[in-house]
Structure 1
Amino acid sequence: MSIIEKAASRIDRQRSAATAVPASPAEASVAHAVLADSPAVAETVIHDTVVHEPVHAIPAAPAIGNEQPAMPKFTTRRVELDLARMRELGMVTAAGGRTPLLEDFRIIKRPLLQRAFGERSPAGKPGNLIMVTSSLPGEGKTYTAINLAMSIAMELDHTVLLVDADVARPSVLRTLGLPNQRGLMDILVDDKLDMADVMLRTNVDTLSILPAGTSTPRATELLASSTMSNLVSEIANRYPDRVVIFDSPPLLLTSESRVLASHMGQIVMVVEAQTTTQHAVKEALSQIEGFGNVNLIYNKTRDLPGIEETYDYHYG
């Protein structure tokens, strides 16, 4: 007698016995073990009763009309910014109260916002794409990009996407105390990735972050590609209230910053007071000669006695 026939015979005996004398726990356990040895029998547990059923092919769910099976959906990840830590580091936060730094960035952002949503010429780049750069490292460009993004996020009518585009030396997430994540470079390399797969929403409802992503030696070529042009167009135009801040590499160290500038509607260059030489500033400005709407932020000035570091904003 085959295993299947033995199992079927055992089921018949159990059904007959069930109407007379309940099986003991030991007997039920033995029956369960025997039936489990058969590859043609599957088990379904209903409350405390073990029911054994022959295995059949499971038919696909019937389609309703032309309805297609649901595809998996990607959800944007959420991260928590430590706003108390940011305040301790001297950054702009909505709960930080009225500070000189907050007032400085209120002055800085206003003309940028006016141009971001002003009338654009047919050949002009979107004004809501703003690149923050510097001549050399250490002048405060990342600090400025984050504070500018936080200040604009406080607006009632605008949202902000902060992009870490310093792909050779990303520092936005590190400055904010967040771990490295996939981001911009991964989207440009892998056409199966979408913005929603890598964009980070934050506990500041109007602020999202796009990390730099995985480092690659082809960063300049990727930033100059049609894929990047399409991505920039998408993030500039998807939401009419969005401002996009790009933290760019320094102009005098990499070629990525000049390529990135070609996509931008506005450029902000941070100059460290009493440190950056006039020659470095002129050389950096020559790298973006021909681009419109170039502005300077003079950083770390101490012009007034008793006043801590302030920011002074000038048009280039």
Structure 2
Amino acid sequence: MTEHRKIPEPSKSLFERAENFFGLGGDFRPAPVPKELKKPVNRRIEKKRPPAAPQTGEQVVQDRPAEQSAPVTQVPTPAPVAEPVPEPVYEDVTFSEEVHTIDREALVAHGLIQPEGPVTALLEEFRIVKRQVLQSVRDARAKGSTKRAQRVLVCSPLPNEGKSYCAANLAIALAAEKDSEVLLVDADFGKPSVLSMFGLPRGPGFMDVLARDDMKVEDCVLATDIEGFMILPAGNHTTSDSEFLSSERTAEVLDRLTRAAPKRIIIFDSPPALAASPAAELANHVGQAIVVARADRTGQTSLEDALTLLSACPDLKLLLNAAHFSPSGRRFGDYYGKETF
């Protein structure tokens, strides 16, 4: 007969033995997991700041909870408007009221235009020249140039080409304009000729004012009996004419000549560009320059060199003097003397 012994039960695990010992039963299940977990106790809490006083251009935004906060758009504060700088107040500049009589015989002797005389070929030629000058003044003002636009330099490459003759006639022609006046400045300090051409006595002038700070340029301007026509003499010659012209004093003096006078045109009769340096210095202060060249004398090389020295001027013009031939057969001056039918 086979021996049957009690088969030993398999050993229990530690958890099963603990269950029998403490009488916990055999229903082991995982602990229930809550649907919502508690928030950690060490989370950061945003503290509310006291509302600050609103500034210009900013929006006042109330504090919200962290979970409901929204981006805040800051309105940029407009830049403060700069107050306009007041323009400097200048003292009034008035010329002397003493009228000097122009010697008409001196005008005839130098072949200049007669202000009260008949229409001549010479007058008609310079009427055309002055129209070009006035148009350039208007164009320069339209581009923003003001003071320099009113200043015209009359020069030549070499001596004896007629630059003083052309400057004087241009000034007389401009004086006839109804809405402008002209100031003829003798800037040929080495060989001044303007006063003798108009029969006026010598006196202090342009160079004296540049050399002396205690002189005012308006005290040296000569009013004439030609309406709208004034003259500034050259003054006493020095050995530093070019240095005086290149100083800051020159700009101040020229400013006084055009102050509160937007319709005043200044004509400078300067030395020849290739014979003296003042012409190149004056080119820095004018809006246009007229280079006078003789048709029968001035060479191309001399003309090109003169234009190079005057290149600081933004507008250069060429005036051909002593030309006796016109391809178109133009003959000014006799039209008004003929009867009309």
How many Å separate the matches in 2 of 1:124 and 1:151?
Answer: 22
How much does 1:153 deviate? Answer: 0.2
Relative to total residues, which structure has the larger strand share, 1 or 2?
A: 1
Counterpart pick for 1:111 among 132, 142, 147: 132
Distance 1:166 1:74, change over 3 A: closer
Whether the 8 Å CA contact 2:120–2:332 is kept in 1: the answer is no
Distance 1:123 1:75, change over 3 A: closer
Match of 1:169 in 2: 191
3-state secondary structure, aligned to 1:301:
coil
Q: For 1:86-115, what per-residue CA distance to the aligned partner results, in whole angstroms no more than 9, with x for missing partners?
A: 135321122121100100001001021122
Whether the 8 Å CA contact 2:149–2:288 is kept in 1: the answer is yes
Counterpart pick for 2:228 among 184, 206, 218: 206
Counterpart pick for 1:99 among 83, 108, 120: 120
How many Å separate the matches in 1 of 2:209 and 2:244?
Answer: 10
Match of 1:297 in 2: 319
1:250-269 alignment runs, 5 A limit: 250-269=272-291
Match of 1:147 in 2: 169
Distance 1:189 1:309, change over 3 A: farther
Q: Percent identity?
A: 37
Q: For 1:201-238, what per-residue CA distance to the aligned partner results, in whole angstroms no more than 9, with x for missing partners?
A: 10112001000001111111111111101111222343
How many Å separate the matches in 2 of 1:177 and 1:249?
Answer: 21
**C-alpha RMSD of the superposition:** 2.5
When normalised by structure 2's length, the TM-score is 0.65
* Amino acid aligned to 2:306: A
Whether the 8 Å CA contact 2:174–2:181 is kept in 1: the answer is yes
Whether the 8 Å CA contact 1:76–1:196 is kept in 2: the answer is no
Distance 1:191 1:309, change over 3 A: farther
Whether the 8 Å CA contact 1:182–1:198 is kept in 2: the answer is yes
Q: For structure 2, which runs of at least 5 residues remain unmatched after alignment?
A: 1-93, 334-341
How many Å separate the matches in 1 of 2:210 and 2:151?
Answer: 18
Whether the 8 Å CA contact 2:157–2:274 is kept in 1: the answer is yes
Match of 1:275 in 2: 297
Distance 1:88 1:290, change over 3 A: closer
Q: For 1:48-87, what per-residue CA distance to the aligned partner results, in whole angstroms no more than 9, with x for missing partners?
A: xxxxxxxxxxxxxxxxxxxxxxxxx994543211124413
1:42-191 alignment runs, 5 A limit: 75-118=96-139, 119-122=141-144, 126-191=148-213
Report which stretch shifted further, 228-237 or 144-153: 228-237
* Amino acid aligned to 1:109: K
When normalised by structure 1's length, the TM-score is 0.70
Q: For 1:131-187, what per-residue CA distance to the aligned partner results, in whole angstroms no more than 9, with x for missing partners?
A: 000001110000000000000000000100000011121111122222221000111
How many Å separate the matches in 1 of 2:172 and 2:239?
Answer: 31
Counterpart pick for 1:222 among 219, 241, 244: 244
Whether the 8 Å CA contact 1:93–1:151 is kept in 2: the answer is no
How many Å separate the matches in 1 of 2:289 and 2:309?
Answer: 12
Whether the 8 Å CA contact 2:283–2:312 is kept in 1: the answer is no
Task: Flag the structure with larger Rg.
Answer: 2
* Amino acid aligned to 2:208: D
3-state secondary structure, aligned to 2:313:
coil
Report which stretch shifted further, 128-137 or 236-245: 236-245
Report which stretch shifted further, 275-284 or 83-92: 83-92
* Amino acid aligned to 1:229: A
Whether the 8 Å CA contact 1:170–1:212 is kept in 2: the answer is yes
Whether the 8 Å CA contact 2:147–2:258 is kept in 1: the answer is no
3-state secondary structure, aligned to 1:245:
strand
How much does 1:290 deviate? Answer: 4.6
How much does 1:262 deviate? Answer: 0.6
